[in-house]
Amino acid sequence: MSWLKMLAMELSSINVKEYFEPEDKIDCKFDVVAGEASDEIKRIYTLATKLREAGARYAIDVSFSRDNQLRTDAKKKVHELKQKTEVLMQIFWITLKDDFDLWDKYSIGIRKGWKVVYRNEDILPLSFLDLLGN
């Protein structure tokens, strides 16, 4: 089964009790609260956190296993989980920006209590050369 199909199943199977809540507190001096994250955002964040944790566990095998096959398999799994986590976090940030219309905000975040925040800084304007580089 493809990862895309598995992803939809994994996200839908995460229940409220499994959520990994962000630990950072709101910085009253700089953070502006845009609202509270949806269950969809909470599930994406939770799955990304689970994948990151699993990757860290495999990384221990890479570093300390004396079994060459186990070490090789663990390296492969670390690489897989790293890429999947990166893609999932991109989906997370895009969903967050879409849900709260934060596309014009340079700095956004998620805080304790599932509060979505941004900072009052404008997106730095791109130069023509910056556009060519992407």
Q: CA angle 83-17-81, nearest 5°? A: 10
Residue position matching structure tokens 């975040």 = 109
Statement: residue 93 has pLDDT above 60: yes
Query: Are the C-beta atoms of residues 47 and 131 closer than 8 Å to each other?
Result: no
Higher pLDDT, 41 or 133: 41
- Which pLDDT value is given to residue 129? 61
Q: How far is CA 43 from the centre of its chain?
A: 10
Selected residue with higher pLDDT from 46 and 66 = 46
> What mean pLDDT do residues 61-86 have?
92
Please name the helix (run of DSSP H) or strand (run of DSSP E) that holds residue 17, with its range, or none.
Answer: none
Predicted confidence at residue 1, as pLDDT, reads: 87
pLDDT at 127: 62
Please answer whether residues 21 and 54 qualify as being in contact, where contact means their C-beta atoms are separated by less than 8 angstroms: no
Kindly tell me the number of DSSP H helices and DSSP E strands found in the chain: 4, 3
Structure tokens given for 32: 């502006």
Q: What is the mean pLDDT of residues 11-36?
A: 94
The one-character DSSP state at 32 is E
- Residue 122, pLDDT > 60, answer no
Cross-strand partners of 116: 35, 110
Class of residue 81 by CB neighbours under 10 A (exposed 0-12, middle 13-18, buried 19+): buried
Considering the chain, what percentage of its residues have pLDDT values greater than 90? 75
> Rounded to whole angstroms, how far apart are CA atoms 111 and 85?
19
